[in-house]
Amino acid sequence: MPARRKKSSHFRFFSLRLVFVFILICTVILSWELYRSWKERIWTLDTRFTVVAATADPTIYSYSPKSGKIIVIKISEKTQVDVAGEYGKWLAGSLWELGWQEGKKGELLRYSLQNSLGLPIDGWIDKDGVSLFEGRGLGFVSAFSKAITSRGIKTNLDFFDRLNVLIATSKVGIGDRRRIDLETQGVLKRITLADGEEGLEIVPDQARVAFEPLRDDTVFAESKRVVVINSSDKSGLASEVGRILSTLGTRVVGTQTNKDVVENCVLRGLKSDLETVTAKKVAEVFGCDLEEKEPLSPTDFEIILGENFAKNY
């Protein structure tokens, strides 16, 4: 009997050690995943956050932490847009499926609407992801739980992005949700499509006026000057990017053409300028690398656009 009790005691001790090691490993893995998610999050909370949802008519949600309001914009599926990546003209309602067919996921929808509308867009979600922006009165525990259960949503938003969106937007009442009708604002005009059906197309000059309320107040307050340099063979690229930068809230003081050796996109500036909200926001919106170097122009930043950027833009 004593020997049997001794064996049983050793077995329980060994089992407890296994359980402890298992819990420790799970804790380390979970901590690492949370840390990685925190580091890779898109939204830093102090800037406007704009996301496009792949609903039948693509829907843009833009939340301002300064005003605590959400602006909602629907783009008719029949809107003809120039597709990023040299795919030609497609209807807005087809961009989500095209992006997944071409291995570009939701980035094709995001960049195509960003470029066509001149509106900086941070992220993309599938049609089920609209629930992130339509919650009401969620507490931290409810938001945390929903952020976990929303992992099945197709999106470039990580766990902390989803959690922060849920916490912030669930506090926004109906009165603080504004819709912009693009056709009423003159941003969209009716046309006859190639197949003879009625459709719409974007009027860039009207878009510039209509999207003034979507300026990022934090970026605007920093009042950083930017020169856009086109280092690719694509004509007019600097002006197109400059239009988005202006909507974002930066001061675009000039555009240039210069054959700088850049493959994709580089944001050049002094260290103190590259640490600003503006630099981080611009780099995120356009996918630019940061280069700590004094700009050649009398400005705070130079954003240099290379050939690969032009091909994917």
Token pair belonging to 183: 């056709």
| pLDDT of 297 higher than 90 | no
Question: How confident is the model over 41-62, as pLDDT tens digits?
Answer: 678 768 999 999 999 999 999 9
Radius of gyration, alpha carbons of the chain: 24
Round to whole Å and give the CA distance between 23 and 311.
Answer: 48
pTM of the model: 0.85
Lowest average pLDDT, out of 27-31, 89-93, 264-268, 304-308, goes to 27-31
pLDDT at 30: 46
Q: How far is CA 78 from the centre of its chain?
A: 23
pLDDT at 215: 93
Cα distances (angstroms) measured from residue 19 to each of 6, 14, 33: 20, 9, 21
| pLDDT of 300 higher than 80 | yes
Round to whole Å and give the CA distance between 128 and 144.
Answer: 17
Mean pLDDT taken over the chain? 87
pLDDT at 57: 97
Lowest average pLDDT, out of 8-12, 132-136, 156-160, goes to 8-12
Average pLDDT of the segment spanning 180-196: 93
Question: How confident is the model over 211-248, as pLDDT tens digits?
Answer: 988 999 999 999 999 999 999 989 999 999 999 999 99
266 in Cβ contact with 292 (< 8 Å)? no
Q: How confident is the model at residue 15 (pLDDT cuts 50, 70, 90)?
A: low
Average pLDDT of the segment spanning 281-306: 94
pLDDT at 26: 47
| pLDDT of 29 higher than 50 | no
Round to whole Å and give the CA distance between 49 and 38.
Answer: 16
pLDDT at 225: 97
182 in Cβ contact with 210 (< 8 Å)? yes
pLDDT at 37: 47
Token pair belonging to 249: 């809230």
> What is the crossing angle of helices 277-286 and 237-248, to 10°?
130
Average pLDDT of the segment spanning 293-298: 90
Q: How far is CA 94 from the centre of its chain?
A: 20
DSSP state of 288: P
pLDDT at 40: 52
Token pair belonging to 182: 């693009």
Q: How many CA atoms lie within 13 A of 228 on its CB side?
A: 21
Greater confidence (159 vs 17) lies with 159
pLDDT at 32: 42
